Chain A
Amino acid sequence: MSTVGPTAEERHALGGFERADLRRQLAVVIALVRRALNEITRVPGASIPGVLAPTIFVIGLSSVFGQADQVPGFGAVDFKTFVVPVGFLQAAGFTGAATGVNLARDIEQGWFDRLLLCPAPRLTVLAGVVASAALRCLLPVSFLFAVAMTIGVDFPGIGGLLIALLLIMGLASAFACYAVTLALRFRTQQAAPLMQMGSFVGVLFTPAYVPKELLAGWLEAVATVNPVTQVLIGVRQSFVGETSWGETWPALLAVAGLILLFGAFAARGLRRYAS
């Protein structure tokens, strides 16, 4: 057989990943994030519900329960300021769930097989999928933040805002890992309610709507051990008071723990998917 195509050396030079080749792996992550962002830029209508939902939630809740801040023990914070950070967490939850649903769609349509067939390390592919959630959540968060400033919520300060954004992006990544785990397990978009439920429950069992001291006994106990509570406190601190390291580091630790936990589940799901 005469060979006029690329030689073996030329073929090998055309691609591949060495273990330490972080630059090429980073390129993969960026490429996958860019692809995920296409939905926002090319089908803007599809992202409108996810962008509006947290804001509608905050405005609606503030209107209905606005006087809740008069309850003894609530503190000196007005209700809408208190609840805006919950909207941020919900934005992270929606985005994380959407990441799982999009992956399930990619699995159904065969696109995910294409990703698995590339020689990039599979954890890099997983990182690309999850990283998109961290960026996409900034859209509903920015919209809610703008509306919150408009309706009189105090500016939390640059430092506080950056800490809040870091925590929200981290939480979106953790929720995305959870949803990705389910997508890899069920391989269908019909699992969407389950993906959504995780973040809903995670946020619900926190001092989302009233301070922890006002929660019913069992709910206070659950909220105390729920790591999302620490994240909420970390995000909320700058809106309701001063930013402190004492409330920041437990939040960072909680986010890191959630990412590690659900990231490990997602990685295991990925291994099982291909076996």
Chain B
Amino acid sequence: MAAIDVRGLEREYKSGLKAVRGIDLAVEPGEVYGFLGPNGAGKTTTVRMLVTLLRPTGGSATVAGFDVATEPAKVRRRIGVALQEAALDQLMTGRELMELQATLHGIPAKQVADRADELIGRVGLSQAAERRVGTYSGGMRRRLDLAMALIHAPEVLFLDEPTTGLDPTSRSTLWDEVRRLKADGTTVFLTTQYLEEADQLADRVGIIADGLIVAEGTPAALKAEVGLPHLDVSFADCPDLSRAKELLGRFGELRPAPEGADVSVAVAKGAEEIAPVVRVLDEAGFTVASLELVEPSLDDVFAEKTGRHLEGAAEPAAAPA
């Protein structure tokens, strides 16, 4: 049984605006599903329906086996949610918020303190637990928000743009935590505008545009759909460019060379082909000045499917190690 099963899900507002226009998706237990799309594409509306904050106007969706429209309380019991804005009461301390969240989830009083301590430690906030949240940095708030979402050990975790606006260190901490959750078997539904984030964390990616899913698959498969990776080669000294092209043509189809490169060749196996290419060129007496492996990005996929680029594509995710 899928952890999240969505069929023909729709949401039409009273104004007539159809924010989500019949999407289908299935997320398997333990999977990290990246949900990509620009602002206004329908990401947040979809998430709000899946977490029972908004009723669908068409189609159906089950989360952790329960229907979001007819069994919302059962869904809420099994999901954790960290929404885009970490809504935290700034007058309360981190520990007080954790304990409040535990109570709101019906955790028995005798387990509340232990569970709060465990999660505060897990997200690295033990030193700040007694401080008011108003004194926390943006990264600390996000980590606390994540800890609160995990207080009842949810089966399915929804993270809505969890690293937007965070510094690389905080982003790295959150990425590590998502990987850890995946290792623990938690299903994660991750919405993001950062392509690299989806690439790094997601087992599969769904791209939504104008309320419809326009592409879905593993990041590698999606990128393969829009073309093979290619090697752009430039030579320090190249007396015989046609010979070089002949040699490189053995590895794959030649492409028009971009500015700054002498030859460009598609390579089906990507990085695996770099060493053989260098070896062949070296043996033939060519001196390679630069060699760059260019792989299609998820933004290329998005552009291919929608004719537009994602906003986050222009903003590097300041990749942590």
Contact = CB atoms under 8 A, between A and B. Distances in A.
A117 interface: yes
A145 to B, nearest CB: 28
A123 B77 CA distance: 16
Contacts of A111: 87-89
A121 B100 CA distance: 16
A28 B89 contact: no
Contacts of B228: none
A22 to B, nearest CB: 12
A175 B55 CA distance: 29
Interface string A95-133: 000000000000001110111111111000000000000
Given A5-B184, A274-B52, A119 B29 contact: no
Contact of B106 (A10, A35, A114, A120): A120
Residue from the set A2, A5, A28, A114 with the largest chain B CB neighbour count within 10 Å: A114
B238 interface: no
B107 A275 contact: no
Contacts of B111: 14
B91 A42 contact: yes
Residue from the set A5, A39, A43, A110 with the largest chain B CB neighbour count within 10 Å: A5
A119 B89 contact: no
A213 interface: no
Interface residues of B, number: 46
A52 to B, nearest CB: 22
A16 B106 contact: yes
A159 interface: no
Nearest to A24: B106
Given A3-B30, A14-B153, A109 B87 contact: yes
Contacts of B91: 38-39, 42-43
Contact of A17 (B52, B99, B106, B185): B106
Given A16-B106, A31-B103, A113-B87, A1 B30 contact: yes
Given A3-B185, A27-B103, A118-B76, 12 more contacts: A3-B30, A5-B181, A5-B186, A6-B153, A11-B78, A15-B105, A17-B73, A27-B109, A42-B91, A114-B104, A120-B106, A274-B55
Interface of A: 1-6, 8, 10-12, 14-17, 21, 24, 27-28, 31, 35, 38-39, 42-43, 109-111, 113-121, 274-275
Query: Which A-B residue pairs are the 6 nearest by beta carbons?
Result: A5-B184, A110-B87, A3-B185, A118-B104, A1-B30, A15-B105
